[in-house]
Structure 1
Amino acid sequence: MIALTLMLAAAMPAPAEQAAIFKAAGATRRGTMWMMCAEEPRPEGAAIELYRDLNGDGRPESIVSEGGTFCYGAQEAGYAVLSKQPDGSWRKLTSGPGIAEPMKTKGAGGYPDLSIGGPGFCFPVVRWNGREYVNQRFEYEGKPCRPGR
């Protein structure tokens, strides 16, 4: 599995909660592993990289990641960001290729901005607007940048 710097989880959820998170992320079970990209010929499996309250509402959020080039191309990884809802279900807030890393800056509802890492030196930062995560800016090492330059 790709070594991510997101290993911020204080405690991992119980197995039933893990299954609910993977299912909400769109993953399917293959043998003992969960996969977001079922077509991956050499699967590494998805992993829960983060499980904690990110927006201060008392309910956990989760980031699920998976490595592989078959579905994620040059990014070599994919992610899904989920939030536990008041009724106990999980809702996918965003997903895509790259590595999602929560930032200190925040959008609506206290959700952190996400830096979407991948190859190169200029990464998109997405912000929660109350309905979805949308592109907000581009940064590299905390400084504004312009992609492709």
Structure 2
Amino acid sequence: MKTTILTLSALALLSTNTFAETKPNVSAKEASQIFKVAGFAKTKNGWEGNCDTGEITTYKDLNSDGLKDAVISDYSTMCYGNTGVGYHIISQQKNGTWKKIFENAGIPTFLKTKGKDGWPDIENGGPGFCFAVYRWNGQKYDVNRYEYNGKACSLN
């Protein structure tokens, strides 16, 4: 019994450390610029958008242009239905300003396939078994195809 408890405790500790997400390290100044471009306002509870408080969940160069990009996630079943999450992609420009590239309800998965200017395709996940994959056309992200587990699917 004692061995079982120790083993379970060790597994719990290992899984906590293995799967713990680390928050991106974003300076307060840059975070402020990123949130403002996405339409969030600073409150005593954090950065609040139209739905709920947001957090920067990704902060890295997504399209290999040498500039940082950020993904803000916010959570609300009132706004986002069964998925319960939405995201906003904000991109740093060459002049140092930030620009909103895309926003959507769902859980973004950045794929290896790419659209124009090196922007990764985005599988827009959530409940279900067939997800829209958005591709950057140089102006905006549009639905390019539907996939489930990397295979084509149809909503019909």
Same fold (TM over 0.5): yes
Matched, 1:146 2:154: yes
The DSSP-based 3-state class of the residue aligned with 1:138 is strand
Cα distance between partner residues in 2 of 1:20 and 1:143: 38
Higher helix share: 2
Q: Establish whether residue 77 from structure 1 lines up as the match of residue 77 from structure 2.
A: no
Query: Which residue of the partner structure matches residue 18 of structure 1?
Result: 31
Q: Quote the residue 2:45 is aligned against.
A: 32
| Match in the other structure for 2:119 | 111
Q: In 2, are the aligned partners of 1:126 and 1:135 still within 8 Å (CA)?
A: yes
Q: Write the distance in 2 (CA, Å) between the matches of 1:109 and 1:130.
A: 7
User: Number of aligned pairs?
Assistant: 137
* Contact persistence 1:138–1:144 (CA under 8 A): yes
**Greater C-alpha Rg:** 2
| TM-score, normalization by structure 2 | 0.81
Residue aligned with 1:71, SS: helix
Question: Is the 1:8–1:50 contact (alpha carbons within 8 Å) kept by the matching residues of 2?
Answer: no
Q: Quick one: higher RCO (CA 8 Å, sep 6+), 1 or 2?
A: 1
Structure 1, gaps ≥5 residues long: none
| Offset at residue 8 of structure 1 (A) | 8.1
Determine the structure 1 residue equivalent to 2:67.
59
Secondary structure of the 1:131 match is coil
Give me the CA root mean square deviation.
1.8
| C-alpha distance in structure 2 between counterparts of 1:8 and 1:99, whole Å | 18
Deviations 1:41-84 (A, max 9, x none): xx4x2111111011111101111101111111222111101110
Q: Which 4+ runs in 1 deviate beyond 3 A?
A: none
Deviation at 1:118, TM superposition (A): 1.1
